[in-house]
Amino acid sequence: MLGLDKKDTSLLIIVAILTLLAPFILNPFPTGSAMAQFNAGYPDLMQRFVIFGIFAIGFNILFGLTGYLSFGHAAFLGVGSYSAVWMFKLLSYNVIPAIALSVVVAALFSLLIGYVSLRRSGIYFSILTLAFAQMSFALAYSVLSNPKFNLTNGETGLQVYADDPQIFHRDSLPDMPHLFGLSMRSTYKLDIGAWSFDFNAGYYLCAVIMMVMFYLAIRIFRSPFGMMLRAVKSNQQRMNYTGLNPRPYTLAAFVISGMYAGLAGGLMAAMDPLAGAERMQWTASGEVVLMTILGGAGTLIGPVLGAGFIKYFENIFSKINDNILHQWFSFLPDGIEDFMVFIVHPFIGKGWHLTLGILFMLVVIFLPGGLVEGGQRLGKWIRNRGKGATDAKTKQEPAE
């Protein structure tokens, strides 16, 4: 279907079902129950899942296929956000021109940075991209924000003001980002018994775009171009002596992943019409690296899983506080309860980065292939167990 083989088609269908049903799947606990804090089905968080999913899918086209590790991709994300907000300021709150411009500007920007950075490989490439991203951050934070020429609005961040031109804005349209009149914030609440589910327009726009971008990524992975990118990672020497020029291949991959990042940045602004320089900081670049590696670099679904995993735990762990801990451990004798809270305390709230770090280390050490490898091992284990119990004769399994 759609030019994909059976396996890829089923993967795409599974992803489509999961994203479309996410408001149900992510809200398994009744509202008001003690477990409700583990629910993730509210619009803001669901939007972040798919937007960072897009970011990571694009990053994986560069890092997963060619092995070039960029530490500067947040720059493209930030550029995308700024472009989108400018479109809101100048034209109107319609998200289509905003998203389109964010992709185009990110493409141009990544072409420039990629052209220079790809003159080196390995660690030098990573450092060059990092340097560029930090320069972009400095530009956005201060240089391009002065009274004469204010492109980024510095520390405050770029936002839409009442006296902005917004030449296509009409009074009938919502005063916030919208898709031809449909506000990105409009949410339909469905209450079933004790449960409550949110269906948010912004989330569904991002989800549909993510599915399209995921589909494109599959096509790229399976194409001759994708094969060349894997060849770049495997042996550039052989490529050179086979009449192939690795440079334009890596540059194309860099620009494509930059466009994915720009799209993600544009969508962020479309959900919340604000762009700040902190979006370009190196920590943001590092985050997408973590997502990709955690999920499984070079696999199709890995980056999406990694993005979801990190954003979920960021949200849940950072919300847990000492009161909640005391509730959890209340079954223990007082002294031990306090002790447990004392032990767990550094890993929650603001300390959730510590938890993330530990999870990341565990995955990298025990599952170098990321969550995808974990899933594969689990699947194999279950299948083998099932087989061993029912049919001892068919021991020979085709190698995978």
Shortest distance, position 9 Cβ to another protein, whole Å: 12
Q: Which x/- pattern, by CB under 8 A, does the window 252-291 give for another protein?
A: x---x-----------------------------------
Quick one: which of 1, 5, 13, 397 contacts another protein (CB under 8 A)?
Answer: 5
Q: Which two tokens stand for residue 171?
A: 């009074």
Does the footprint of another protein cover residue 377 (CB under 8 A)?
A: no
Nearer to another protein, 61 or 275 (CB): 61
Does the footprint of another protein cover residue 120 (CB under 8 A)?
A: no
Are the CB atoms for 211 and 15 separated by under 8 Å?
yes
Are the CB atoms for 285 and 133 separated by under 8 Å?
yes
User: CB within 8 A of 261, min separation 6: which ones?
Assistant: 55, 58, 59, 73, 74, 76, 77, 80, 106, 110, 288
Q: Indicate the DSSP class of residue 81.
A: H
- 52-60, 68-76, 199-207, 224-232 -> range binding another protein (CB under 8 A): 224-232
Q: Indicate the DSSP class of residue 251.
A: H
Q: Is 29 exposed, middle or buried (0-12, 13-18, 19+ CB in 10 A)?
A: middle
User: CB within 8 A of 196, min separation 6: which ones?
Assistant: 27, 31, 189, 190
Quick one: which of 32, 147, 224, 333 contacts another protein (CB under 8 A)?
Answer: 224
Nearer to another protein, 49 or 59 (CB): 59
Quick one: which of 31, 142, 223, 384 contacts another protein (CB under 8 A)?
Answer: 223
- 50-58, 111-119, 238-246, 302-310 -> range binding another protein (CB under 8 A): 238-246
Nearer to another protein, 244 or 344 (CB): 244
Calculate the CA 231 to chain-centre distance.
26
Q: Which x/- pattern, by CB under 8 A, does the window 326-365 give for another protein?
A: ----------------------------------------
Does the footprint of another protein cover residue 6 (CB under 8 A)?
A: no
Site for another protein in 183-222 (CB under 8 A): 219-220, 222
Nearer to another protein, 240 or 327 (CB): 240
| Other CB atoms within 10 Å distance of the CB of residue 34 | 11
Nearer to another protein, 36 or 216 (CB): 216
Quick one: which of 230, 314, 318, 349 contacts another protein (CB under 8 A)?
Answer: 230
Shortest distance, position 180 Cβ to another protein, whole Å: 29
Q: How many residues bind another protein (CB under 8 A)?
A: 30
Map 155-209 to HEC letters. Answer: HHCEECCCCCCCCCCCCCCCCCCEECCEECCCEEEEEECCEEEEEEHHHHHHHHH
Calculate the CA 314 to chain-centre distance.
13
Backbone phi, then psi, for 274, in 5-degree steps?
A: -150, 140
Alpha-helical regions (H) of 21-66: 22-25, 43-66
Does the footprint of another protein cover residue 396 (CB under 8 A)?
A: no
Does the footprint of another protein cover residue 368 (CB under 8 A)?
A: no
Tell the residue number behind the tokens 């004469």, with chain if given: 148
Binding site for another protein (CB under 8 A): 3-5, 219-220, 222-228, 230-231, 233-235, 237-245, 248-249, 252, 256
